[in-house]
Every structure is written in C-alpha cells, then in structure tokens.
C-alpha cells in the first residue's frame, strides 16, 4: 500500500450522533431486561448506526450480519454483575469509592472491548469466514436452550457454584467447539478453534484470577468478570495472531469508551442519589430514576467512543472486504437472531412481570392469559419465519431492493419493536415521575433516531489518498496511537477525580451503598 499522506475525510458528524443515540436507547431498554439477552439490542443498533452513516457499500451489503455480530458481541458482557459495585461508589470512604469506580471501569471496558472485537469481524472478514460460524453458533444456542429447559444448567450450578459463574455455558460451548473441531467438515474447523479459544479463555481467566489468586470483585455476587477478562485476552490474541490490526485498533477504542462510559454514567447517578446542587434544589430534577439515566449515559458515551474508532478506520481508508451480499444461510441466521431469538429471549420476561403484578385474571376457552400470550407469540414467530424465508427467496416486495434502504428499515424495525415491547411492561405503571421520565426519554430518543435515519441520504463513498488493508501496521502506528495513549494515561486521573467529587457530595453513605474495605478496617461484621 502507498505510504503517501491520506486526504483526511471532512468528517461524518452523523456517525457519533446516531451511534450515541442508538446505543443510549438500546442500553436504557437493556436495563429493563438485563443479562446477555438484553445487551444484544444496543450492540445491534450500534452496528446499524455505523452502517447507515459510514457510506460504505461493503458494510451496507452486510447490514443484517453486522447487526447480528453487534448483538452477539455485546451479549458477552451481560454475564457480569455490577449492582454491588455501584453500591461501593455510594459509600463514604475513599478506598471503597475508588475501588467501585475502578471496578466499573473494568466492567465497562470489557463490555466495550469484547463487543468491538466481535463487531470488527464483520467489518474486516470476508463473508465466507463469517458464514462458517453459523452452524457452530446455532448448535451452541440450541444446546444452551436444551440445558435451560431441562433445568440441567440450574442443577449443575446449584451443585457446583464456582463463585456463581456461568461455567456451564462456558463448558458446553467448549464441548461444542471440540465436537466441530473433530469434524471432517473443513469449513467448521476455524470457527471451532475460535470457539475453543474463547471458552478456554473464559476458564483460564476464571481459574487464574478468581480460583487461584482469589480475586473477587463483588462478593457474594458472580465473578463472571474474570471469565470475561479471559475472553477479551483470547480475542486480542486471535486478532493479533491473524494480523488484524484494524480490529485491534477498534478494540482499544471499545475498551476506553466502555470503561469511561460506565464510570462517568455512575457518577451522574451518584449526584442524583446525593441530591447534589441543582438536583436537590429543584423538585423537577428529583426522583428521576438516576439509575436508568446512568445506563443511558453509559450507552451514549460508549456509542460515541466506538464511532470515533470507526471514524479512524474510515479516515485511514480501510480496504473494502467485499461488496456483494452475504449468502442465504448467513442472512437467514442473522435475521433469525434479530427477529426471533432476541425478542423471545427478552420479551418472555414481560409475561413474568405481568404475572407478578397480578395483571392476569380470567381464562378464555379454558386457556389462561399466560398460555394465550405464548400461543400468539409462537404464531407471530411462525409468520416472521415465513416472511424471512420469502425475503431470502427475493419474493417480499415490501423490502427495499438497495442495501442502504434495507439497513434503514432494519434499524427502524428493531428500534420500534423493542421500544413498544418494553413499553408494554410499564404502560399500566406510569404512576411515578421516575418511570414516566424514563419512557418519555425513550420515545423522544426513538423519534430522534427515526428522524436521522429517514432523512439520511445515501452518499457516494468518499475517496482517500490511499487504502490500507486490515493487516497494515498503519492502524497501530504512532499516528493512531497518540490519542489512545493520552486517553489511557488520563484514566487514573479520571477515576480519582470522580472519587473526590463523589465524596464531596455527602458525608454519610448514600442510600443503597455497600462497603468492601472500610467495614473490615473498622472491625465491623
């Protein structure tokens, strides 16, 4: 590749704006569902925001695939527990608060780093390589589903807790990886090696950090964080071994943005808990569910940070992978993840919420409301399956012919599907200012996203002076390292500043606080 100086792009201001809004909305909704399934939505919306604003024909052609990879990438972090960690930042001692912010930075960094790594595969891999993942990934999901439905997972984890971690999921994924690695089908061997590496990395991280070194971030809660450290290291090693330096660059942005977002978002929540300044003075700013606004700010900062990393790839002229659409199996799998697996894994919890609130009463035709909901949801899934099949056969005229239009439709469909699905959880409980403010914010953000998407016009790709392939040393060269090095050097100061400012807002511990070290020093139980 030529080493002449590139013509820097004028910039794409819509990229960080739409990416930040999309992940902010997705993360706010994720907070109502939690865990891995909930975290799939912000990852999918972020990927689609990138596709719509990046003006890349190759990315537009694989919009569904990128959305699926974004969903899977951010799902990894959903296994980490952080409720008690946030409680540490509400304490009144320096050591607890600084520990809380440091832990939150690590959790957020792992979430953003792993998500960026998985998403980068869609930005830099050829379609054939991604397509090889379909059968192994589907097998893992079905295996997990079988283990959950038969309650084998619950029984095993009850007997061997391993610090309340998801060790059964990691072990079963490892077994599936070994199964495919021993298969005689050549195309399954590379994805099998990746699965083995990630599952093995999870176990290596847990065993080394928690089992051997005894590091427990938030006892007695889950220590899945150590497994996620292993996954992150395994992904970085994989990308380094194959020379995918552009992906590693995006990972560094993801780590920095995710960690910063979670720490800063929690600081704003602490201001709300303490009733600091204007919050304590003005009644309109009180009782606004600052936990939820913490989640939204986390998503906003992480989305903007990832967009900055993608902008670096665009400015450096990342070479196109391919411009044709992914083949039928990959397209079908991506749409199934987005419109079948994601809704089922999340919206099934709506039924539990309605039951807890006593919203189910009389039966119809001898069938209870819960069963009717499952029947209707199943029928909807059947209809969606037929629609996906017709679309893959090219027989669904309502889907736009061009890739850019499909990306727009996909983002709007996911945005409003999950917004309305989440709204059904609370529509009968909008009786507090906090809940009302949260969902008004959801709707306003969704409308802004919709406005940006529908008014976005497809632009011709902008040329740069030269083009770099994913393996070029340019991506981790001094030109791209400078701002990342500065950002990472500032992190310790950021954590110290957040700690000092938080402690200045109160003398006594805030509501919902937890203490990790100070009680032991004081000799308290």
| 3-class secondary structure, 464 | coil
**Contact between residue 80 and residue 35 where contact means Cβ atoms under 8 Å apart:** no
Separation CA 440–CA 414 (nearest Å): 18
How high is the pLDDT of residue 367?
87
User: Which uninterrupted H or E stretch holds 517?
Assistant: none
Give 387-435 as a 3 state SS string. HHHHHHCCCCCCCCCCHHHHHHHHHHHHHHHHHHHHHHHHCCCCCCHHH
Structure tokens at 387: 């629609």
Taking the C-alpha atoms of 264, 294, 71 and 486 in order, what is their torsion angle to the nearest 10 degrees?
Answer: -10
Separation CA 386–CA 364 (nearest Å): 28
How many other C-beta atoms are found inside a 10 Å radius of the C-beta of residue 520? 10
Separation CA 156–CA 166 (nearest Å): 10
Separation CA 126–CA 104 (nearest Å): 35
Structure tokens at 155: 């029984």
Separation CA 204–CA 211 (nearest Å): 10
Give 317-354 as a 3 state SS string. CECCCCCCCCCHHHHHHHHHHHHHHHHHHHHHHHHHHH
- Count Cα neighbours of 430 within 13 Å in the Cβ-side half-sphere: 12
Separation CA 58–CA 123 (nearest Å): 9
Closest CA to 69 of 96, 103, 108, 43: 43
How many other C-beta atoms are found inside a 10 Å radius of the C-beta of residue 157? 16
**Contact between residue 115 and residue 78 where contact means Cβ atoms under 8 Å apart:** no
- Rg, C-alpha atoms of the chain: 23
Q: Which residues of 341-354 are buried (b: 16+ CB within 10 A; e: fewer)?
A: bbbebbbebbbeeb
Q: Residue-wise pLDDT tens for the chain (525 aa)?
A: 434 344 344 347 899 999 999 999 999 999 899 889 999 999 999 999 999 999 898 999 999 999 999 999 999 999 999 999 999 999 999 999 999 999 999 999 999 999 999 999 999 999 899 999 999 999 999 999 999 999 999 999 999 999 999 999 999 999 999 999 998 888 899 999 999 999 999 999 999 999 999 999 999 999 999 999 999 999 999 999 999 999 999 999 999 999 999 999 999 999 999 988 888 878 888 888 899 999 999 999 999 999 999 999 998 889 888 767 778 899 999 999 999 999 999 999 998 888 888 888 788 888 888 889 999 999 999 999 999 999 998 888 999 989 999 999 999 999 999 999 999 988 877 878 888 999 999 999 999 999 999 999 877 655 555 588 888 888 988 778 888 889 999 999 999 999 999 999 998 999 889 998 865 443 333
Full-model pTM: 0.93
Domain boundaries, the chain: 14-325+459-519
Phi/psi of residue 89, nearest 5 degrees: -70, -10
How high is the pLDDT of residue 370?
86
Separation CA 255–CA 123 (nearest Å): 18
How high is the pLDDT of residue 465?
52
Alpha helices in 61-126 (DSSP H): 63-75, 83-88, 94-124
Give 34-45 as a 3 state SS string. CHHHHHHHHHHH
**Contact between residue 437 and residue 289 where contact means Cβ atoms under 8 Å apart:** yes
Q: Could you tell me what percentage of the chain is helix, strand and coil, using 3-state DSSP and rounding each to the nearest 5? A: 75, 0, 25
Closest CA to 231 of 198, 193, 204: 198
Kindly list the distances between the CA atom of residue 333 and the CA atoms of 134, 326, 329, 338, 392, in Å, as whole numbers in the listed order.
7, 11, 6, 9, 11
Taking the C-alpha atoms of 248, 59, 452 and 385 in order, what is their torsion angle to the nearest 10 degrees?
Answer: -110
Helix 403-426 × helix 63-75 angle, to 10°: 40
Phi/psi of residue 275, nearest 5 degrees: 60, 40
């Amino acid at each position: 590749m030529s080493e002449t100086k590139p013509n820097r792009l004028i910039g794409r201001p819509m990229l960080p704006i739409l990416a930040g809004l999309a992940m902010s909305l997705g993360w706010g909704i994720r907070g109502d569902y939690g865990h891995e399934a909930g975290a799939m939505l912000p990852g999918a919306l972020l990927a689609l925001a990138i596709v719509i604003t990046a003006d890349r024909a190759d990315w537009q052609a694989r919009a569904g695939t990128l959305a699926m990879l974004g969903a899977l990438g951010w799902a990894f972090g959903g296994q980490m527990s952080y409720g008690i960690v946030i409680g540490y930042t509400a304490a009144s001692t320096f050591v607890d608060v600084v520990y809380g912010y440091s832990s939150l930075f690590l959790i957020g960094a792992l979430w953003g780093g792993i998500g960026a790594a998985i998403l980068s595969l869609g930005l830099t891999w050829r379609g054939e390589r991604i397509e090889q993942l379909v059968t192994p990934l589907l097998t893992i999901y079905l295996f997990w589903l079988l283990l959950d439905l038969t309650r084998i997972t619950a029984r095993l984890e009850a007997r061997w807790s391993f610090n309340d971690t998801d060790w059964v999921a990691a072990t079963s994924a490892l077994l599936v990886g070994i199964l495919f690695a021993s298969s005689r089908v050549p195309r399954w061997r590379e994805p099998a090696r990746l699965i083995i590496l990630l599952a093995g990395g999870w176990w290596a991280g847990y065993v080394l950090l928690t089992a051997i070194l005894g590091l427990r971030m938030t006892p007695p809660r889950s220590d899945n964080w150590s497994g996620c450290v292993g996954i992150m290291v395994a992904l970085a090693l994989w990308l380094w071994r194959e020379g995918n330096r552009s992906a590693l660059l995006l990972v560094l942005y993801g780590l920095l943005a995710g960690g910063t977002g979670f720490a800063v978002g929690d600081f704003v929540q602490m201001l709300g808990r303490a009733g600091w300044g204007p919050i304590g003075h003005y009644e309109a700013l009180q009782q606004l569910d600052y936990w939820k606004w913490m989640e939204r700010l986390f998503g906003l900062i992480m989305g903007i940070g990832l967009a900055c990393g993608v902008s670096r790839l665009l400015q450096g002229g990342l070479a196109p992978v391919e411009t044709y659409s992914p083949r039928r199996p990959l397209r079908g799998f991506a749409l199934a993840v987005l419109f079948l697996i994601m809704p089922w894994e999340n919206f099934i919890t709506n039924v539990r919420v309605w039951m807890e609130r006593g919203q189910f009463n009389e039966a119809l035709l001898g069938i209870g409301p819960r069963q009717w909901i499952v029947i209707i949801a199943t029928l909807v899934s059947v209809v969606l399956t037929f629609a996906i099949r017709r679309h893959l056969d090219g027989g669904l005229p309502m889907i736009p012919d061009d890739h850019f239009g499909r990306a727009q439709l996909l983002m709007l469909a996911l945005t409003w599907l999950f917004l309305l699905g989440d709204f059904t959880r609370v529509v009968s409980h909008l009786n507090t200012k906090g809940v009302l403010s949260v969902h008004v914010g959801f709707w306003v953000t969704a409308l802004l996203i919709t406005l940006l998407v529908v008014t976005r016009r497809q632009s011709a790709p902008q040329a740069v002076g030269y083009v770099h392939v994913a393996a070029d040393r340019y991506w981790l060269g001094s030109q791209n390292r400078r701002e990342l090095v500065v950002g990472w050097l500032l992190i310790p100061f950021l954590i110290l500043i957040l700690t000092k400012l938080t402690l200045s807002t109160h003398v006594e511990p805030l509501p919902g606080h937890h203490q990790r070290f100070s009680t032991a020093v004081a000799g308290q139980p």
